[in-house]
Amino acid sequence: MRAVAVLAVIAYHAFPHALPGGFVGVDVFFVISGYLITGIVAREIATGSFTLARFYARRARRILPALAVVLAFALLAGWLTLSPRQLATLCRHVIGGVTFSSNVVLWRESGYFDTDAALKPLLHLWSLAIEEQFYLVWPLALLALWRWRVGLTVAIVVASLAACVLLSRESPSAAFFLPHTRAWELLAGAMLVWLPRLADRLRHAASGLGVLAIGAACVLYHRDLAYPGAFALAPTLGAALLIAAGRGAALNRLLAHPAAVWVGRISYPLYLWHWPVLTFALIWNDYDPLSTPQIGAALGLTVVLATLTYVAVERPIQLQRRVPVTRVAAAFASLLVLAGAAWATADYRPTSQAQDKRFADIYADGDPFDTDATMREACNFHDVRTKSARASIDADCLPAGAGHGLFLLWGDSHAQSLWYGFDRVATPGTIALVAASACPPRLDDLAPGAIDPAACRASNRAARDYIRSHRPRRVFVAQREGHERTDWAAIARFVRDHGGEMVLVGPSPQWLPSLPLRYAHALDTRPRYLRDGLDTTILRTDARLRAAYPEGGDVRFVSLIDALCNPQGCLAMTDSAESLRLLVRDYGHLTPAGSETVARLVFAPLLR
């Protein structure tokens, strides 16, 4: 089962389109861990042989050695290749890995302007942190409440599952990363320790249903789901059914094949190594997407490193009881010193002083919601600092007009990034802004895939109310992606019914992983237009919108791609006198210079 779990996760990370729901392998791991650890603790408590010291010593021997090797590798590779800002982020993640708080660190970082996950070599350690937090708390709870162990397990499962479902609707990132919304998956495995064995006639059916549930989740789920929530029930119950079915079930006998057993045996170092290898391969490939042969080579290296780690590090330390666990823990803790040293010397490495690395960091270090820059945080219904929804936005975001024609910018942070230019081109006091990060305009209160559904609902209600009450002359709707999933004709009718015209703003040019990182490689020539790294899915989206909404139709479509791109690529460097002259500051959010350039080039006639 460990083999099934780790291969699903690796397949998802290496080929996300081939197995879009492979991330549920982590849920399978949780169930396995809950079952195994609870079984060990329960047997020893029942026989009177359990001690916390011995339990934690076994966990340390099992977890720390392989993790230390991977963390040390990530630190060295990062110190040699990353920019100072990227290395600082990596050092924070190493500290999170050592202290088993990666899930909290990553949750605090998560958000619309977070670094691309593909550039975080230790992103995957969030799940290990949750397991370690479980190991710290659950044995203590069993010791203290052994007499009520079954009722305790059931109560926590029910409470945790309810919290998971509710929080996934309102704060998906918190539900994903925090332990109290994941505890029920671990304790679903623990429940199996207390339940009676299945009757023989039910084992084959349980095994089949378990495989079906996990397989269906791997194939049908995708990253845009509000996960975990109720969706996590399928892989969790599937894993529980497989365990309950036991070794005699027909499909389970396949999982006992020596090849599957070997993969399961090295699953821990496989999991630890696969993501850093893929991430650094992408970085060393100048951020160009890896080809299939390159991915294959990276996965082959992962298997080699995992096998060596298991044979030369993990297994010997588990077997050699002569190595004091205090020495293992001390060696592991020394990584805190190494991370601090790497962080402190980031600016003194010869490789980190390269002009291109510093150039990219300048754009990454700015606050995207600085009110003197592109966007206005006061007009965002999602508070990016507290990660919560605002009940209202600043009154200045919703001008009354005072005799002037009004214009409304409505959408996500890409709509916000247009505000700076609009404000400089239009008559003062005529631009209203209603937005919420990651929230496309909608006529209903649904918020599929939002990082803050409550903020989306509030934002879209405020925009609709403003249109009804102030009847703006034009409503500019803008969002990052997913334009094809919106009924723009319905929104256009709504705006027209209230005396205005809707203008559908096409997506801005976007570069992967970011324009500053891409442009850094072209500093010698400083081209005005740049093709390298352009996100071609955005170009295709723009072409489909242009075909769907021709001139003179019910929806007025404005293509930024047409205005900003040519055969050489898309406009990357503006003519602005601003210090930050690139068109966008990250993958696609306009800089102040970019926003003003776009407003004067494209929207000035529409803002009169």
Q: Which two tokens stand for residue 497?
A: 């019914």
**pLDDT at position 448, please?**
75
Same structural domain, 322 and 381: no
Average pLDDT on 34-51 reads 95
Average pLDDT on 557-565 reads 97
CA 604, CA 608: separation in Å to the nearest integer?
A: 7
Does 288 score more than 60 pLDDT? yes
Same structural domain, 311 and 281: yes
269 touches 66 (CB < 8 A): yes
Residue 590 makes CB contacts below 8 A (sequence gap 6+) with 374, 414, 417, 418, 420, 421, 508, 583, 584, 598
332 touches 554 (CB < 8 A): no
The pLDDT tens digits of the residues spanning 503-548 come to: 999 999 999 989 998 998 888 889 999 999 999 999 999 999 999 9
| Domains held by the chain: number | 2
Same structural domain, 20 and 100: yes
**pLDDT at position 321, please?**
63
The pLDDT tens digits of the residues spanning 442-464 come to: 999 888 778 889 999 999 999 99
Say what percent of the chain tops pLDDT 70: 95
**pLDDT at position 112, please?**
52
186 is in which domain, residue-wise? 2-353
**pLDDT at position 247, please?**
84
Higher pLDDT, 385 or 178: 178
Average pLDDT of the residues of the chain: 91
In the DSSP assignment, the letter for residue 312 is I
The pLDDT tens digits of the residues spanning 314-355 come to: 888 877 766 678 888 898 999 999 999 998 888 777 654 455
Higher pLDDT, 238 or 347: 238
**pLDDT at position 86, please?**
87
Q: Which of these three, 300, 327, 353, is where a domain ends?
A: 353
Does 357 score more than 70 pLDDT? no
Confidence bin at 369 (pLDDT 50/70/90) = low
How would you classify the pairing of strands 565-566 and 556-558?
unpaired
Same structural domain, 348 and 368: no
Q: What is the CATH number of the domain that holds 583?
A: 3.40.50.1110
Does 371 score more than 50 pLDDT? no
pTM attached to this predicted model: 0.90
Higher pLDDT, 211 or 248: 211
Q: Which of these three, 315, 332, 353, is where a domain ends?
A: 353
Does 213 score more than 80 pLDDT? yes
CA 597, CA 532: separation in Å to the nearest integer?
A: 21
Candidates 451, 459, 460, 462; CA nearest to 170 is 451
Higher pLDDT, 160 or 400: 160
Average pLDDT on 17-21 reads 95
Same structural domain, 343 and 366: no
The pLDDT tens digits of the residues spanning 93-142 come to: 999 999 999 999 999 887 655 667 778 999 999 999 999 999 999 999 99
Same structural domain, 328 and 297: yes
- Where b means 16+ CB within 10 Å and e means fewer, 152-171 reads bbeebbeebbebbbebbebb
Same structural domain, 151 and 200: yes
Same structural domain, 481 and 582: yes
Candidates 127, 73, 125, 130; CA nearest to 335 is 73
Q: Which of these three, 303, 326, 353, is where a domain ends?
A: 353
Same structural domain, 424 and 307: no
Same structural domain, 311 and 405: no
Average pLDDT on 60-85 reads 92
Q: In this predicted structure, which of 119-128, 382-391, 466-475, 556-565 has the lowest mean pLDDT?
A: 382-391
**pLDDT at position 353, please?**
45
Same structural domain, 348 and 458: no
Candidates 162, 93, 82, 164; CA nearest to 124 is 93
Same structural domain, 341 and 393: no
